[in-house]
Structures are given as structure tokens and as C-alpha cells.
Structure 1
Amino acid sequence: MKTTCPAILVAAPASGQGKTTVTAALAHLHARAGRRVRAFKCGPDFLDPMWLELATGHPVHNMDLWMTGEADVRARLHAAAQDADLIIVEGVMGLFDGEPSAADLARHFGLHVLAVIDASAMAGTFGALAFGLQHYRPGLPWAGVLANRVASERHAQMLREALPADGAAPSGWLGAVMRNPAFTLPERHLGLTVATELPDALARLDAAADALLDTPLGQMDTAALARWSVAFEAPADPAPTVPLLAGKVVAVARDAAFCFIYAANLESLRALGARVVFFSPLANEPLPACDAVWLPGGYPELHAEALSASQASRDSLAAHVDAGRPVWAECGGMMALFDEIVDPQGQSHALWGLLPGVVRMQPRLAALGPQKLALTAGELRGHTFHYSRCETALEPVLHTASARGGAAGAGEAVYQRGALRASYFHAWMASSPAATAALFLPEGATA
């Protein structure tokens, strides 16, 4: 059974064009008007979904034809269409970047592409770029183009006139957004600043939504949005998840230092039968009573001084490890386990000392891309994205592999101390429930 709902994918020629701001602004504009908006993020990003969640008031899930899989994407779109007046998917990088790309996602599910182009340093070329994005791949559903960071009304007119004509009107023109620092979303080394850290985050979204009000895009009501309707097919019934973690309690670190948590990963743990509880190392909270621990990624480098002083968290975690209970630590969660971290200013901070070695922040990106981790129980898909390197005498027990292939051992190292396993690899846990369960069970244990 198909369910119909207007659906667009907000894309751009490249990163840094302002597509997150436009996606969040558009979602917030329609949510303010009382429409039910559901937003998603294409690719493995943790930060953009936080802004989209603030904009819509609803949880935001990731979708990626490789990492999360076609079946998961189909199920989420169909479920959203049953409960929404508008579905908005934010793309990743440039429209055709990556394998699979945002364009592949749009073509596969019929999502209409709204191209956001930073027009601050162009005029006539705007038309060529918009034309190329629309026609580079045949069969790409097209919504139109929005000019971003425009200097003046005259500049906007030049951009509009650069588009190929469709009858008497420019083809696909959806308006211009003027350059305005009032709704700029601030960034740092891993991407956008976490929305919950900014006291004026909602005011920024309101300003960005207001900037769309005078554009053709921002003036569309429910009837106008219907031109972008998509009929989403119902997914096949999923295979039941075996409750391999039934009766287990998994403690998850969650605060500003450990905030890179896919909502779908928590769903996966619960589907496996685990009870999920949370604690905050930044608040120096000891581990709650639990069978296993997940230390997700985040920003330990920004909170190194506070983490260094979180003795109750550190000591209870050390006792948990010494007792042979499992820990899965990924990226920032792993970084906190080493002896020390050297921040971008060269200052060293003592950390938890559960793994020997030093983590050094780098001025440039150290690793980026889709990865997979093969365990005896199955293969987990995920990704890596970090600005640090670790120096340790530990020998890796495993390596991830790039989804794009490449030399053996070229992926991320997996380190182990007893039942503690750690890596820069971020796992998408639903890609293999059995492998996920293995991360939270002692080696050799059975559910």
C-alpha cells in the first residue's frame, strides 16, 4: 500500500553552501504554520540532525543507501508519509558526491531536489550551475533552485535572469535569501556547533525562516506543496530482531562531551532487549548499575579539563572494566580512555588512563569516510570522521575496512583491553543486530 506526501531533498553543489540553514529554516517555517514536518539527514552526520530536530520538534533519523540500507530508508519514509504534511531530507556534501550520493537517494525514492547555491560570488554562472545540477543525471526529480547569500535585490534579479527560460518565466526559480549574520549557524572543527549549546539557537532558526517568507519557496501552502508529492511504497515486514541482550542493562554516556548518538542506535539496543540507562561523565556521575557500557563520540577535546576531574566516572568505569564487563567506545568515547589528550593549542590534559597512549588533535581532518567492521557475529556498517590521532603501544586486534575498498589495514584500528573494545569507528548498529549484541556481551557469551 502506498502513502503519498510532498517530499523534497535539499542539496547543493558542494559543502558550505548553506543547505543545513535552508533545510532547518524551511522545516521550521512550515512547522510554525502548524504543518506536520518530518526531517531526515542524508549520510552519517550527527550535528545537522540536532538542528533539524530543533526546527521540527521531532526526532531526526539518518538515511544512506549504503550505511542504513534501502529497506530502512523505505520504512522510515513510508512511516513519515503517514503522519506528515511535508517530508524534508537534507543532502550531504555536493548533490552527486559520494557512492551512493544524495542524488542516488533522490532518484531511488522520487524525492524532488531543491538546489541551494551560494551565489555570493557569481551572476550568470548561477544559471549554468543550476542547469547542470538539474540535467547531469537523467531522471532526477527536480523542485527548483534557491539562491543563497545574495548581496542585493539587483543581484537577485541577475541570478534569476541567468536561469534558462521556461516559457515566460525562469525555470525553477524559488527565490533568493539575502546574506545575513543573524541566522548564520556557527561552526567548529567537526561541523556545526551543537544546537543545544547556543542560547539563541531557536532565534536563529526564526530569523532564517523569516528570510524565506518573501521567496516563492517560503510562500507555498499545503496545496502548493502538493506538486512535490511522492507515493511511498510500504516496506516489506522486517525480520524480527532476536533479543540477544534481553535482561541486560546498557549504560550510555550522554552529555555535551558524548553527544554523537544516533537515535536509531538506541532503538537497536532496545530492540535487542536491552534496557538503556544514561549517565554524564561531565557531571562526574558514576556508572549506574549495568552489564555493559557504550561511550559514544562527541567532543572530549573541548571538555578535557572537566573530564580529567571526573574521578567518580573514571573510577567506576575502571572497576567495570576490571570486572570483565563489556565496554564499546567509539571515537570521542575512545579518546577519553587514553592517558592524555593534547588540545589544538598544544596543552596536555590527563584523561582516564584505561588505555595507554596519547591523543593529539590535528589541524586538519585525519580520516573521513564509510567503513565496515567484520566481527565473528556479523558485519557492522558505519563511518569514521575525526581530527585527532592516537599514539599507543597497543596492537590493534582488528581493523575496519573502507566501504570503497583499498589496502588491508587501511581502516580504523580496534583496540582491546579485556572486554573493553575501542575504535574511531562509529557503528550503525541496525546494520547487524547480532554484531551489535556481541559488542555488549563478554567474548564467548551467548544470550
Structure 2
Amino acid sequence: MRCPALLIAAPASGQGKTSVTAALARWHARQGRRVRVFKCGPDFLDPQWLERASGHPVDNLDLWMNGEADVRARLARAAQQADLILIEGVMGLYDGEPSAAELAQRLGIPVLAVVDAGAMAGTFGALVHGLRHYRPGLPWAGVLANRVAGTGHAQMLQAALRDGDGPWWGALPRDEGFALPQRHLGLTQTGELPDALVRLDRLADALEGTSLGQLDGSEWQRWAVALEVPAELPVVEPWLAGRRVAVARDAAFSFIYPANVETLQALGAEVVFFSPLADEPLPDADALWLPGGYPELHADTLAAAGRTRASVQRHVQAGRPVWAECGGMLALLEGLTLADGRRVPMWGLLPGEAVMRARLVALGPHAWATPWGELRGHTFHYSETQTALAPAAHTTPARAHGRPEAIWRHGPVRASYFHAWFASAPQAAAQLFLPLPQEGPASVMAQETAA
């Protein structure tokens, strides 16, 4: 299957990758084209903007976390339904192991470089030349300048390009009205901004004034890539057949990979959602997933969610499994101390306290070795947790400078800062939602620690 595809990358974070990718997605969607967008690396916030722009859920692509076969399969399935595919890179083009450049080269996807040229002229050419040639054989689509002062500035930037480093696809102007607002974990969630679509339309309108925005659907065929479903994809058995998994989902619990929900359904589970912020009771379910998000921004509301807390407590007392990731774990603790020093009592279903820090505490890819396979994912948090519980297991950081993340068990509750990518080890993911044996030396978690 062949489908036009571009990977939108940059020299560094903050250059405008998300804005340009969202603008492209929104512009093509407004033309009636079917656009599928992906995000390189672990990320929950950029995909919200890309989903709003394209009208379709956004999956993550990471050669380490997903595995190459999973990456290829997701792209191939998208190619069967889409008129074009857009992939937003992560950090700088060559940052990370594996980097966005490696993904582009391994899959043959052309790279469109987005460069914040607001404070440069001739150096723009040197920077683009380095991006283009640093890795021999990198598929290349050209360059788009961002945050440009005007027509004269754009002409200087275009003149700075060497032969072979283009094509030049134009320039987006410097305009604060295009900015996507941010906070400590990244972009602000789209659901919190009533003008989110208006912002995206402004970006798409600006893109229409560039050479890139003038290309029609047929002209995008220059970037057509062969994408086929790999033959070696693992078969997912229905280990959760007949089980109902409740998932918290609202502005406080929004860090949910769409692929994780799909994996639960592929495992045979029925997935139902509820909102703790709306004080909705936990639906009747065999297992509960409390994903990450922003509980620190909604701590008072969560503390006052008496119906939700009572229903989760009944679920725990009945011995039904709970998997709490990062922000979901914070909600279960006895208290959360916010950045301003104020302590807010939380649900008290997991011993311990968490404290928000001004700086990032941990970031990076992690793996959890279990008897059912290596569950991969990542960690990214600004809080620290103190608890008397002894860790039942630890993750292993994929990078030398990382530190393990504890996985705690308290009755039927398992909790960690670790965000799991369920498709990396479906049988291991299924265990998170199956009843645990009684705690003790022969428990499942003891086996996981040994593993």
C-alpha cells in the first residue's frame, strides 16, 4: 500500500513542530481529505491537538517502546484509510535513542524540517544543511521557516539555503495568535480551551499562504511511501474476555494512549469510562484503571468527589484490581502537597503522600520485566511520593542516566509513575486487570520482582 507521508521535525523542541503538523492536518481536513496523524515518542498532550486538527485519534510511534513491527502495522493500517499521513517528530530531529531521524530513515518517510528562524538569517542555511546531511541517506522533503518577521526576512532565509537543501516551502509569520498555550507538562489540553479549533484554523489559514499550503492532493503523491503490515505481528489472546474495565477519563485523568484502550478491547475486555471530576461513581466493573493526567490542577475537586471515592473504596474492599499510573496514583494517596505548599487530602486508599516539585523529577523510557513479557513505556513527572510501602517491583530505565521507578502493591491496588504501553506485552498488560493472589512470598509481584 502506498500513501503520501511526511515526518515533521525540527532542530529542537519549541520550534513549532506541533503547530505546523496541526496546521497541515487541519488544512487538509478542511479540503475533505482523510488525514491520519501520529506522534513520535511518548506523549499525551501534542496528540490532543493533532486529534482535534485531523478529526481522528492519534497513535504514538516509538521504535523502542512500540517495536518496529507495531510501528509499521499502525502506519500500514492508516494508509489503507487515509489520503495522507503526517508524523510529528519528538525533540530535535536527531535527539533520543531511537531518534525521529532513525524512524524516518528506517521506514523511508521524507522529513520536512521546521525551523524557528525568528532570530537568524544566514545561519538558517547552515542549520538546514546540517539537518539535511548529518545522517547520510535521510529521506528529505524540504524546509519550512517559522516565526518569520516579514517578506524581506523570508527572502534572506531562502537565499541562505544551499543547492540540494531545499525545497523551500515558505515561511509562517511571527504571530502570538498562533501560539498553543503551555504549562509544566507540555501543551494545555484542548478540552480546556474553548477556542482551540479557532487557533487551529488560524494556523491552517497561515499555512495556506505558503508554497506547501498550495499543493493539492495529487501533488502530495511525490511523498508516497510503501507501507505494508508486517507478517510477524504477535497474536493477542482474549485473556480479559468477559471482563469489564472501568477507566477514569476527564481533564484530571486524560493521559490515555488510544492504543491502550484498543489493546484492552483486543484482549476481550469491555471498556467503560467515568469522570471523577464530575463525581461520577465507578461503574460496575471487574477492574479499574486510573491513568495519569493533572490531578494537581484539580486537587480540591477530586478531594470533594465523595461519590467517586466511596465507589472506588468499595471496589478495592471487594478485592478487585486497580492499576493506577502517575496522576492516578496521586489521587489514591493520603495527601498531595501542591506547588504553593498547600496540602490537599486525597482519597486515602494508598498509604503515602506526594509533593509537587518546581523541577522535573524524572523523564525517560522504562521497561518492566514480568513473567508474561517486558512491558515497555515511559515516566514523566514533577511530583515525588513518600510511602511506607516496600516496592513490589521496579522498572528498568532504558537510558544510563535514568533511575528505576517503584511499582507498589497495596491489596488489589498496583501503582507507579510508570506509564505502560500495553501493546508492547499484551499478556503482561492483561495481568494488571486480573485478580491478584494474596500478598506473600509466593505472590505474583514477588515473581515480578525476581524477574
TM-score, reference length from structure 1: 0.96
Q: Distance in 2 between matches of 1:189 and 1:104?
A: 28
- Identify if the C-alpha distance between structure 1 residues 150 and 62 changes in structure 2 by more than 3 Å, giving closer, same or farther: same
**Any gaps of 5 or more consecutive residues in structure 2?**
439-443, 445-451
Residue 404 of structure 1, CA deviation = 2.3
2:260 pairs with 265, 272, 293, which one?
265
Determine whether 1:340 maps to 2:335.
yes
- Deviation of the 1:444 alpha carbon: 4.2
Give 1:191's aligned residue: 186
Q: TM-score, normalised by structure 2?
A: 0.95
Task: Quote the Cα distance in structure 1 between the aligned partners of 2:209 and 2:283.
Answer: 52
Q: Which of 358, 361, 366 does residue 366 from structure 1 map onto?
A: 361
Quote the offset at 1:97 in angstroms.
0.5
Structure 1 unaligned residues grouped into runs of 5+: none
Match of 2:391 in 1: 396
In structure 2, the residue corresponding to 1:65 is in which secondary structure?
coil
Paired position in structure 2 for 1:211:
206
The reply on whether 1:428 has 2:421 as its aligned counterpart is: yes
- Matched residue of 2:272: which SS? strand
2:70–2:233: 8 Å Cα contact kept in structure 1? no
CA distance, structure 2, for counterparts of residue 74 and residue 376 of structure 1: 27
- 1:182-207 Cα offsets, whole Å, 9 max, x none, are 12100001100111211000000000
Match of 2:144 in 1: 146
Aligned partners of 1:255 and 1:11: how far apart in 2?
Answer: 30
Matched pairs, number: 439
1:437 equivalenced with 2:430 (yes/no): yes
Cα distance between partner residues in 1 of 2:229 and 2:282: 42
SS state of the match for residue 66, structure 2? helix
- Distance, in Å, in 1 between the alignment partners of 2:234 and 2:362 is 34
Any idea what the Cα deviations from partners look like across 1:104-146, whole Å, max 9, x if unmatched?
Answer: 1100111110011111111111000000001000110000111
* Segment of structure 1 superposing worse, 295-304 or 307-316: 307-316
- In the aligned structure 1, how far is the partner of 2:147 from the partner of 2:269? 47
Pair 1:160 & 2:138 matched: no
Tell me what 1:231 maps to: 226
- TM-superposed CA distance for 1:406, in Å, is 6.2
Q: 2:239 aligns with which of 230, 239, 244?
A: 244
Give the Cα separation in 2 of the matches to 1:111 and 1:368.
27
Shift of 1:172: 1.9
> 1:405 & 1:250 partners in 2: Cα distance?
35
8 Å contact kept, 2:276–2:308: yes
* Residues 318-376 of structure 1: per-residue CA shift (max 9 Å, x gap): 12112211100000000111111111111111111112222111111111000011122
Match of residue 311, structure 2, among 282, 307, 316: 316
CA distance in 2, matches of 1:36, 1:286: 38
1:115 aligns with 2:108: no
Identity of aligned residues (%): 65
Give the residue type in structure 1 aligned to 2:431.
A
Equivalent position to 1:412, from 380, 405, 418: 405
Are 2:64 and 1:35 aligned? Answer: no
| 1:303 matched residue in structure 2 | 298
Q: Name the SS for the 2:292 alignment partner.
A: coil
Counterpart among 69, 72, 80 of residue 71 in structure 1: 69
Q: In the aligned structure 1, how far is the partner of 2:331 from the partner of 2:429? A: 22
Q: Is the 8 A contact 2:69 2:232 kept in 1?
A: no
Secondary structure of the corresponding residue to residue 334 of structure 2: strand
Among 145, 157, 169, the alignment partner of 1:174 is 169
Q: Deviations over 1:156-213 (max 9, x none)?
A: 11111111135xxx73211110011112100001100111211000000000011111
